[in-house]
A and B are shown apart, each in its own frame.
Chain A
Amino acid sequence: MAQVNALPRQHRPDPLRALGVVALNGMFDEMDALGVLRHAVEEILPGDVAIVSSFGADSAVLLHMVSKVKKDLPVYFLETGKHFPETLDYVETLKTRLGLTNVIAIQPDPADLKRFDPNGDLWETDPDSCCHIRKTEPLEPITEEYGGWVTGRKRYQTVERGVLPHFELTSDDRIKVNPLAHFSDADVVAYRQEHNLPEHPLYQSGYKSIGCAPCTSVVAEGEDPRAGRWRGLNKKECGIHFDFNGAIAKPMVAVEKHRLFKDGAFIADPFHDWGEGDDAATAHYTHVPLPVFLEHRETFLANPHPLGLLVSPGERIEDVKDDLQRFASVAIKFPAFTDGRGYSTARLLSERYRFAGEIRAVGDVLADQIPLMRRCGVTALVVTHEPTRQALAEGKLAEVAIFYQPVGLTEVPVGTRPYLRRAG
């Protein structure tokens, strides 16, 4: 493996190095996490690799392995300023228990905080930007010091990570090492028990994936563990996992009211409208207009970031039916509430194409049409009309709650249609 080790660090893609990484992935047994880590630290990147740890619910396993391989491996901890106090305690517990000697806390730039998040509530309106100033920016200068990184990511954690390998090459030619790629939740628990590792104090309270306090919530039994992160925001990955060079949107200074109504509450909307200067290759959390998507389809499909689709009246959802799974959210435009074309689009999406992501109504969204939109499959609403916002917030939509005709996938069995319903 000396050949791989000897490769120069260069900031342009090297196909040979890429091939080397492919070969590396075949070298280790799926569960040989310690072997992967030892090989990376001692053979591939000696003195040139570090780890970023969140000191979250299952960080102990990887840190335990690190302590087995090299107690003074640099362990960076993103002290975002938004952690649970329990997490900060846990950092100390693990340091002591595992004998880690090189844990380094990195903090956001105070100037950035002052400028972009003076009140400390940016997470609420623009979580992307919050991650950017508290995680991506502080980490960036440090990433440049190393040729590779160890991460604790696991395949099972989210759908998007389903194909995570042990070794990855980033676009800026660094190596990411994922020793736990093949670990399941049960493997983590088993490992922790086997080595009697301390639990994160919040783990027993139902927190399975722990990040900053404001953006973490309890995960239900059987739910995707990371579902508790950025709950309701369609956000599954924070910026630092995408790509060290990933372009993260500039923080929004203007703090607006939440306009996205979903699951019974107005919440922060991670999505942005498609803008003039947006690039198909790097756009993320953007509702791409359907014609723009079709024009740059290949590029969008290669784009690794979460994306949405914007369908306006007159555009045919049929034209993108094979690509729908690419989108986390589809926004249906109602330019005027009297324009009913969006209802057909919503039904096609939810009923015919079984689109399981978010279907949101945008535009002229008013109280009296919302019940119809929901019946047609709309699951989220972007609302600016003040009386409508109030009616939603108070749960006071005047609607007819019984239906004659079956619509959607849930109204079919009972209580909806003129036939097969029981009278009285």
Chain B
Amino acid sequence: MYRYDEFDAAFVRERTAQFSDQVRRRVSGELSEDQFRPLRLMNGLYLQLHAYMLRIAVPYGTLSSRQLRMLAHIARTYDRGYGHFTTRQNIQFNWPKLKDVPDILADLASVEMHAIQTSGNCIRNITTDQFAGAAADEIIDPRPVAEILRQWSSLHPEFSYLPRKFKIAMSGSPNDRAAIRFHDIGLQAVANPSGEIGWEVWVGGGLGRTPIVGKMINGFVPNEHLLAYLESILRVYNRYGRRDNKFKARIKILVHEEGLETIKGQVEAEFAEMRGGVLTLPQEELDRIAAYFTPPPFEELPATRIDVKREKILDTAYGEWLENNITSHRMPGYASVTISLKPVGKPPGDASAEQMEAVADLAERYSFDELRVTHEQNLVLPHVRIADLRTIYNALVAEELADGNAGLITDMICCPGLDFCALANARSIPIAQSISERFASMTRQKEIGDLKIKISGCINACGHHHVGHIGILGVEKKGGELYQITLGGDATENAAVGKIMGPGFEAEAVPDAIERLVDAYIGLRQNPAEPFIAAVRRLGEAPFKEALYGASERAA
């Protein structure tokens, strides 16, 4: 893992002191709320429906046990005993008091963490594959470059007041687990014909009220020129991105309105000026940063096959957990464990202080002290010995963290919704809860297989409903809450935006509607090996529309 040196530590110290001064000036009235708002946002502090919300950066989703214990401490000391992991691999606390924020920031700094640029119209946390450095299918570990991008984008003087927020995601594997095509910039590791590894650059993707799949702007940018290329894109966006309408200010709109070729021309012209300049990244420096991410001292273990069938017979729940929550590792005898934060009937992504501490202990003992936060709001122990799985599972059971539903229908992404968020039009957590209760049977979930449901409480789409195989969007209609259903979204390398099926449903009708879609799929699939999303692509929307709005059903 990356460790702060004196420079990083001093940077966070100065930034914390600067923010404390800003808070002081706000309190004394030197700063108006309008003047203060962008400053506090750039330090992760939101004003939510009920209270301030503090969002803390987890750079590229990587945590140590010490850091997770500190997050547990903060949850217990300053909040209501839990934290909420987000779709951008960060964690947020929903109930801190403004007066405690400087103390929280100081506690964070003591474990090399901060809340810088987790909000505001600036470059946000760089996200990546939760299995980076562990995945068997990885071309390269994207974290060293992600760390360099984190540094480059921290308090960038030219790009701190962009037209709108700016999100960058990277994938080191061809199987995109970071949704890079739905980011302002997506970086996909690729090898060129001579074997050199560089980056495919995607631009202008995004969800929100205008979901757009990103477009490839450059097929290969080598590491040494990556910063110059990104700075070129950011400069074009900063200068020409729309500022007249908040809802049209993301780079996706600029690319959409001007056309990829125009933007590409502008970016390439900037790049021609910057290429080879001060932003050139020397290999030695990349190597220096990469040294922080050298693989842990893995043991030489024999390749081990997990006999899921046998385990299921012996212990159904354990067998299902193995089947769904274990991902193959590039080292023989090792695996990555997904810890589901989607227990049936609980808000997705929440973890209590006790749970965080238990997971921290497991990471320290069994995973070389490493942890990951996934963009699907789960936690991951990236490097565990297969021989330790049973012990880990037993410990998770004790903390109610052993749900074996990763990737299944109840492993939903869900925004905080009207219960917590000032922007939301509708509740989303109760919808997720009612769906997970409906499909609580593990037999039923296994029968359905890989199905991603994503729920947003408003068109800002924090719950990524556009890329859910089934998406659910809460809207306000005639004073009530209605839920629109979309079908066919996909956040991976087969990126697609889901299509709206028709009129919305009332909250209590949503589980039935989902069940009708699921039943239709099971009836129509070629065989149990054909996943939901593949069946939707093959069959089109018609049979599913019919299932949803058949004559008997009352659609609002």
Interface on A for B, CB 8 Å cutoff? 313, 337-341, 343-344, 347, 352, 366, 368-369, 371-373, 375-376, 387, 398-407, 412, 417-421, 423-424
* Contact flag A404-B281 (CB < 8 Å), given A338-B161, A398-B21: no
A412 cross-chain contacts in B, Cβ below 8 A: 278
Closest chain B residue to A371, Cβ basis:
B157
User: Measured between alpha carbons, how far is A278 from B327 in the docked complex, in Å?
Assistant: 73
**Chain B residues with CB below 8 A from A376, complex form:** 157-158
A398, B17: Cβ atoms under 8 Å? Answer: yes
- Does B121 count as interface, using CB distance less than 8 angstroms? yes
CB within 8 Å for A402 and B243 given contacts A344-B235, A352-B273, A418-B289: no
A404 lies within 8 A of B154 (CB):
yes
Summarize A's interface: helix, strand, loop or mixed: loop
Does B151 contact A404, Cβ atoms closer than 8 Å? yes
Q: CA separation between A341 and B147, bound complex, in Å?
A: 27
* A337 in contact with B161 (CB, 8 Å): yes
B178-207 at interface with A (beta carbon < 8 Å): none
In residues 16-57 of chain B, which contact A (Cβ within 8 Å)? Answer: 17-18, 21-22, 25, 30-31, 35, 38-39
From B6, B22, B227, B284, give the contact of A398 (CB < 8 A): B22
B24 to chain A, nearest CB (A): 9
The residue from B35, B156, B161 contacting A339, defined by CB atoms under 8 A apart: B161
Q: Give the residue name and chain of the A residue nearest to B11 (CB).
A: A402
B158's partner among A344, A387, A400, A424 (CB-CB below 8 A) is A344
B288-336 interface with A by 8 A CB criterion: 288-289
- Using Cβ atoms and an 8 Å threshold, which residues of chain B touch A405? 151-154, 156, 227, 279
B162 lies within 8 A of chain A by Cβ? yes
Q: For B149, give the chain A residue with the smallest CB separation.
A: A418
Contact A406 B239 (CB under 8 A): no
Q: Within 8 Å CB of A399, what residues of B?
A: 14, 18
A401: B residues at CB distance < 8 A: 14
Instruction: Find out whether the CB atom of A423 lies under 8 angstroms from the CB atom of B5.
Output: yes
Residues of chain A with a CB closer than 8 A to B25's CB: 387
Contact sample, A vs B, 13 pairs, CB 8 Å cutoff: A338-B121, A339-B161, A341-B238, A343-B158, A352-B273, A368-B35, A372-B158, A400-B11, A400-B18, A404-B155, A407-B158, A419-B281, A420-B285
In the complex, chain B residues whose CB is within 8 Å of the CB of A375 = 157
- Selected from B148, B160, B162, B243, the residue in CB contact (under 8 A) with A372 is B160
B10 at interface by CB-CB < 8 Å: yes
Q: Decide: A402 and B273 in contact? CB cutoff 8 A.
A: no
Shortest 10 CB-CB contacts between residues of A and residues of B = A340-B161, A419-B285, A423-B5, A418-B151, A398-B21, A375-B157, A372-B157, A387-B30, A404-B151, A400-B14
Question: How distant is the Cα of A404 from the Cα of B6 in the complex, in angstroms?
Answer: 13
Fill in one digit per residue for B154-181: 1 if any A CB lies within 8 Å of its CB, else 0.
1111111111000000000000000000
Contacts of B254-289 to chain A: CB distance below 8 A: 273, 278-279, 281-282, 284-286, 288-289
B161 touches A369 (CB 8 A): yes
**Contact B279–A406 (Cβ < 8 Å):** yes
Contact call A398/B158, Cβ cutoff below 8 A = no
A398: nearest residue on chain B (CB-CB)?
Answer: B21
Interface string of B135-153 (1 = CB under 8 A from A): 0000000000001100111
Supplied contacts A344-B235, A398-B21, A399-B18, 6 more A-B pairs, CB within 8 Å: A339-B243, A340-B159, A352-B273, A402-B14, A406-B278, A417-B151
Q: Contacts A344-B239, A372-B157, A406-B279 hold; do A423 and B6 have CB atoms under 8 A apart?
A: yes
* Measured CA separation A404–B273 after assembly (Å): 21
Q: Are B157 and A402 in contact (CB under 8 A)?
A: no
- Of residues 209 to 258 in B, which have CB atoms within 8 Å of A's CB atoms? 227, 235, 238-239, 243
**Contact count A vs B, C-beta below 8 Å:** 110
How far does the alpha carbon of A151 sit from the alpha carbon of B243 in the complex, in Å?
55
Asked if residues A341 and B121 are in contact (CB atoms below 8 Å), the reply is: no
Partner among A338, A340, A372 whose Cβ is within 8 Å of the Cβ of B238:
A340
Nearest CB on A from B273, distance (A): 6
Is B545's beta carbon under 8 Å from chain A? no
Q: Cβ of B279 and Cβ of A402 under 8 Å apart? A: no
With CB as the reference atom, state the residue of chain A lying closest to B163.
Answer: A340
Within 332-352 of B, Cβ neighbours of A (below 8 Å) are at none
Given contacts A340-B159, A343-B161, A347-B158, contact A398 B18 (CB under 8 A): yes
Asked if B446 lies at the interface with its beta carbon under 8 angstroms from chain A, I say: no
CA distance A399 to B160 in the complex (A): 14
B525 adjacent to chain A (CB < 8 Å)? no
Expressed in whole angstroms, the Cα–Cα distance for A141 and B235 within the complex equals 56
A365 to chain B, nearest CB (A): 12
Evaluate contact between B39 and A419: CB separation under 8 angstroms. Answer: no
Q: Which of A340, A369, A407, A420 has the most CB of B within 10 A?
A: A340
In contact, B35 and A337 (Cβ under 8 angstroms): yes
Whether B66 sits at the interface, judged by CB under 8 Å, is no
Q: A313 vs B241: C-alpha distance in the bound complex, in angstroms?
A: 11
Interface centre among A352, A371, A405, A417 (most CB of B within 10 A): A405
B499 at the interface (CB under 8 A from A): no
B15 within 8 A of partner (CB):
yes
Chain B residue, CB-CB nearest to A376 = B157
Docked CA distance A356–B168 (Å): 35
Measured between alpha carbons, how far is A405 from B11 in the docked complex, in Å?
A: 12
- A337-B6 Cα distance, complex, nearest whole Å: 32
Closest Cβ of chain B to A399, distance in Å, is 6
Partner of A402, one of B7, B160, B282: B7
Given contacts A398-B22, A424-B6, contact A404 B157 (CB under 8 A): no
Q: Report the minimal beta-carbon distance from A213 to chain B, rounded to whole angstroms.
A: 38
In the complex, which of the residues B15, B147, B243 has the most CB atoms of chain A within 10 Å of its own CB atom? Answer: B243
In the assembled complex, the Cα of A87 lies from the Cα of B147 at a distance in Å of 65
